[in-house]
Chains A and B, each alone.
Chain A
Amino acid sequence: MDGVTKTGFAVSVSGMNHYFGSGEARKQAIWDVSLDIAPGSLTVLMGPSGSGKTTVLTLMGCLRDVQEGSVRLLGEELNGASGAQVVALRKRIGFIFQAHNLHGSLTATQNVMMALQVHGSGDTAAQRRAAHHMLGLVGLADRVNYLPQNLSGGQKQRVAVARALVSNPEVVFADEPTAALDKESGMTVVDMLKDLGRLRGTTTVMVTHDNRILDRADRIVTLEDGRVVSDKNNT
C-alpha cells in the first residue's frame, strides 16, 4: 500500500541536528529531534515562532540537505542521498508552503498542471481536466484561468493546495496552509487532507497555529527552541 515502508513509517527521523550559518556565525537550530510518523495519519507540528517547525518540515520533505542524524522518507535515507534520488522522492510528495509560491506568469490551471508535468509531459488535455477537477474541489471552479495577481490571498493558497494534492502524493507536508484562509475554507482543506488519509493512505504533516485543526489531528508534536517538548496522540 502507498506510503507504507519496510519500517512501517512514512517518515522516520532520529537524532537529527541542524545548523545555520558557518564559522563564527554557525548556530544550531534543531537539537536531537526524533519522530516516527505513521502512514495515513495527520500529524500537527506546533510551537512558537522561530521554534524550528519550518526547518523540520523542509528537512523531512527533502527540501534541505540533512546534516546530522537520519531521516527516512518513504523508506529512503535522505542523509547523503544523491541528487537523482532526491528528485525522484520529491515527485512522490506534495508540499504546501507558508507563502503560496505560485508562479505569477501562469494561470491557476497551469500552476496546478506543473505538478503533473513533472511526471512526464504526455496527455495535456487529461492533465488540464485533472487540474480543473482539483481546483473545483478547493472551490475555484470559476477561477481556473485567473493569474495569481487577480486572486485573493485565500484563493492563491487554495491553488497551492490543489497543486500539492493533484498528483496523489504519498506524503503531504503543509506549512501553515490555512493561515491565509477564512475559517470555512481552512476547514475544508484540512478535511480534504484527512479524507485523503482515510481513502488513499496519504500521510500529512502540517504546521499550524490554528486550534480548530487540533481536534482533527491524530497526533500533536510541539517544538520549542529546536527541541521536541511534547508529543501527544489525539484519540
Chain B
Amino acid sequence: MTRFLSWVLGRLPIGWLQLSHSRARLIVAVAGVVFANVLVFVQLGIMGALNASAVAPYDLFKADIMITASDAKTLTDGSNVSRARMFQALSIPGVKAAAPIYIGNVEWQRPDGGSSTVQAIGLDPSQPEFARKDLQSSMQTLQLADTVLFDALTRGIAPGLLDTATPAAPYQVELTGRTINIVGTMEVGAGFSADGTLYTSDQTFLRLFNNRSSGAPTHILVNVEDGLDHNVVVERLRHVLPADAVKVATTEDAIAADLRYQTTERPTGIIFGFGVIIGIIVGIVIVYQVLSTDVADHLSEYATFKAVGYPQGFFVSIVIEQAIILAVLGFLPGLAIGTSIYVVLGAATGLQMTMTFSLALSVLIGTIAACALSGVIATRRLAAADPADLF
C-alpha cells in the first residue's frame, strides 16, 4: 500500500502512514463513511424504486401524445376525460389515430387470504398499436370477455404461480365478484400505490369498474402521422381543446412532469430526498471530525515540515490524500452492504431496487467530494500559523 501510494503521489504517503499508524481512528473513520454511504444508498435506492414505479405504467402503452384532465398530476390521480375530446382530436390534421385508455385500482382477495391492490389498465383491443410491442399479439385474446394479462411480479403472490396461465388453460381469480381468466403474464412489479398491474380490454375494464363509463376514459392516447413533429401536433391540439378541462403533452413530457411532481411535491419523494441530504451531512461531519482531529494531533509535526520549507499546499494534499483513502475504504463495504440491503428490501417489498453502475459511481464521486471538502476545511487553521507557535 505504502509503495503503491508513494508511486501515485510521487512523495511519501504521509496521510496514509498517519492513518494506518492509529488503527482505531482509521476504523472509526471508515465505519463512519460506510454508515453514511449505506444511508445514501438506501435512500437513493428507495427513491429510484419510487421513480421506476412511477413511470412503469407508462411503459405498458405506446402513444406519441397524451390528453389528460387538467387537474391530473400523475397517471391516476386526475379527473376523467370526456371521450368527446378524442373525436375532436381525430379531426385535427396530423393526428393519425386516437384511443381511450382506462386506468383504475381494484382490490384483489388473493386465494391465500391476503389482499392486493391491482392497477387495471384497459385498452381497446381493436387498436393494438397503442399497446406495448410485446403485448400487441395478446390483444386479440383479450377481446374475450373477462380475460386479462396479469403482472407476474405482483406483491404477495408466490413466484411462478401464474407461469402456466395460457389462453387454453387460464388461471382463474375472483375480482369484484367476477371470475376473471388470466391468460398470460407481463412483468411490471410493485410500486407505492399498487401491488401489481393487470392488462385488459376496455370492455372488461368497464365490467370490473361498474362506476366507470365508456364515455369518460382516464386519458386519451394520440398517435401522430409518420414524420410529423409531435410538438407541432401538441400545439394544434392545445389550440382546439379547452385548457381548463384538459392538458396536452407529448408522452415524454407527461412522464417527466409526473416524475418531477412525485419526487419534489409528494411527501414520499421529499422524505427520501431529505434522507439523501442527511446521509451526506452525516458523512461530512464524521470525516471532518476525524480529519480535523488528525490535523490537531499532528500540528507539531506539520510545524516541523513547515519549518523545513513545505508550503501550505503540501498539508492540504496530505489531508486530501487521507480524505480520498477514507472515501475509497468506506465506499467498498458501503457498496457491498448497500447491494445486500437492496436485495433484502426488494424481496420484502417487491420494489425494484437495483444497484446500477452509474448509481454506484455517482455515490463514489459524491463520497470523495464530500471527504475532500471536509479535509480542506480541516486544514484551514494550519494556514496562518507561524511554525514556532505550533510546537
Which residues of A approach B to under 8 Å, CB–CB? Answer: 54, 58, 61, 63-65, 83-84, 87-92, 95, 97, 99, 101-106, 110, 113-115, 117-118, 121, 124, 163
Contacts and interface: CB of A to CB of B under 8 A. Distances in A.
A113 B12 contact: yes
Contacts of B17: 105-106, 110
B347 to A, nearest CB: 45
A61 B301 contact: no
Contacts of B301: 101-104
Contact of B307 (A63, A84, A106): A63
B307 A61 contact: yes
B308 interface: yes
Interface string B5-23: 0100011101001101100
28 contacts: A54-B388, A58-B388, A61-B307, A63-B307, A63-B387, A64-B386, A83-B311, A84-B311, A87-B310, A88-B309, A90-B308, A91-B308, A95-B307, A95-B308, A97-B307, A101-B300, A103-B298, A105-B17, A105-B18, A106-B12, A106-B17, A114-B12, A114-B308, A117-B12, A118-B305, A118-B308, A121-B10, A121-B11
Contact of B14 (A61, A83, A95, A106): A106
Contacts of A63: 307, 386-388
Contact of B305 (A84, A104, A114, A121): A114
Given A106-B12, A117-B11, A121-B11, A90 B307 contact: yes
B141 interface: no
Contacts of B12: 106, 110, 113-114, 117
B316 to A, nearest CB: 14
A87 B309 contact: yes
Contacts of B14: 103, 105-106, 114
B391 interface: yes
Given A114-B308, A118-B309, A64 B388 contact: yes
A162 B196 CA distance: 75
A99 B391 CA distance: 8
Given A90-B306, A92-B309, A114-B308, 15 more contacts: A58-B387, A64-B387, A83-B311, A87-B309, A87-B310, A88-B309, A89-B309, A101-B391, A103-B304, A103-B305, A106-B17, A110-B12, A114-B305, A118-B305, A124-B6
A219 B144 CA distance: 114
Nearest to A57: B388
A64 B308 CA distance: 13
A101 B309 contact: no
Contact of B310 (A83, A102, A118, A121): A118
Q: A-B pairs with the 4 shortest C-beta distances?
A: A90-B309, A91-B309, A105-B21, A58-B388
A99 to B, nearest CB: 7
A172 B286 CA distance: 42
A114 B389 CA distance: 21
Contacts of B18: 105
A59 to B, nearest CB: 8
A88 B309 CA distance: 7
B324 interface: no
A206 to B, nearest CB: 16
B6 A97 contact: no
Nearest to B18: A105
Among A64, A90, A103, residue most surrounded by chain B Cβ atoms (within 10 Å): A103
Contacts of A83: 311
Contact of B304 (A61, A89, A97): A97
Contacts of A87: 309-311
Contacts of A110: 12, 17
Contacts of B391: 97, 99, 101
Interface in B374-391: 386-389, 391
A65 B388 CA distance: 9
Contacts of A65: 386
B303 interface: yes
A118 B14 CA distance: 13
The CB with the most chain B CB atoms within 10 A, among A54, A58, A89, A113, is that of: A58
